[in-house]
Structures are given as structure tokens and as C-alpha cells.
A and B are shown apart, each in its own frame.
Chain A
């Protein structure tokens, strides 16, 4: 079956540094990917998405990179701030599917 997993379950970075959160997916048919941020006790918050016809997409301080060859997805956060501390989930969607498959999550801790 499909699976979405993360290489690093925890990540600690110094405030101001850049963060990179990685995600691997197993289904090459997946064509839509989303990164969510979940703060403690709250629901996931949409950060950025990317479709399989793109390799890179930038938002405000965030960049998502997609490498379809190795089925790898990453989220880059520039100038990480304490408010970025949260659990980050990647999610994938299959063509024609109505729902998302979520990865296990990476906890990002920003050290002031």
C-alpha cells in the first residue's frame, strides 16, 4: 500500500538558521503533495503544496522541493523562528483520490 514517511522524527535548529524537513513517499502515482504544520493541541495548518509537474515551489519563508526520481519531498524554512516550532506533516494524494495520506510527522524545535 501507499506510505508516506519521514527520515527524521525530530529536528532541532538554532533560531535564524534554515530548517530542512524531509519526507519520502512510496507511490509513484502520487501527484499532489501538501505540507502541514501542527502546533501542540491544535489542528494541522496548511503551509504549502506542490503538484507533480513541478520541482519547486516557494512561499513566504518556505520552499517545497519535489524529487520524483527518488520519491522525496522536502520543506525548507528560511530564518527559522521560535514560532516555527511544531510538528510538520507531509501528505500525498493519488490521482482521482478524494483524500490524503499522511506521514508520521517531524517535530521541529527552534532553540532561541
Chain B
């Protein structure tokens, strides 16, 4: 149980294009999903908290117009990196909380590696 998937797992794009990453909770419903960014040999940096049916809450320093988040259903959240640039290259990881469970346990997806040329 508590499986989270991400798609795609790898994406290479040209500078200036937009990239959409999907995060799905496969066997549970998640009212809250989280998007993280991770640079090599560093910890996870929370970018935003995505709540189903409402606007995402972005962490300080994260551009909401740059990183568009949509949480249209209880099992799907999407992150769109708009007009991607090489500095956006990173490992993006989503996580989800099971709405049935109390507490802050998050289950993570396998990550999406973005390379912007």
C-alpha cells in the first residue's frame, strides 16, 4: 500500500519549454501532496504544498508563476515548470499524505529528473 508514482521519470528539454510532471497516489486518496526539489548530495527542499481543490502554498523563494501546481483530484497533482532554464535542472520528488491517516507521514514518488539544455 501507499504507492506514489511520478511521470515521467526522466525528461530532457530545451531551454524555454515547459515541462509537466505528474504525481499520482495509486492506492490511496491524498488531500495533500507535496513537491520537493533535490540537488545532488543535498537534502530535499520543499517547494510547495498542494491541497486538492485549492491553491498550492509555496515556500519562500519559490516562484509560483514558474512552478505551476494543480491538484485537481484526490489522486493527482501536477507540477509544470514553465519556460524552463538550465538552472531548473534538478531532481523533483512528490509525496502524498494518506487522508485516512492522522499524522504527517508522507509517501514519496520515485522522482523525476529534469535536464534543461
Contacts and interface: CB of A to CB of B under 8 A. Distances in A.
Contacts, number: 54
Given A42-B110, A104-B43, 16 more contacts: A41-B91, A43-B108, A43-B110, A44-B93, A44-B95, A46-B106, A46-B108, A89-B44, A97-B104, A98-B32, A98-B104, A99-B34, A99-B49, A99-B106, A100-B104, A104-B42
Contacts of A49: 103, 105
Interface in B46-104: 46, 49, 91, 93, 95, 97, 103-104
A24 to B, nearest CB: 14
A44 B34 CA distance: 13
Interface of B: 2, 4, 6, 32, 34, 42-44, 46, 49, 91, 93, 95, 97, 103-111, 113
A34 to B, nearest CB: 6
A43 B23 CA distance: 12
Contact of A43 (B46, B93, B104): B93
19 contacts: A32-B103, A32-B104, A43-B4, A43-B109, A44-B108, A46-B105, A46-B106, A89-B43, A93-B104, A98-B97, A98-B104, A99-B34, A99-B106, A100-B104, A102-B44, A103-B43, A104-B42, A105-B42, A105-B43
B104 A99 contact: yes
A104 B110 CA distance: 19
A98 B49 CA distance: 9
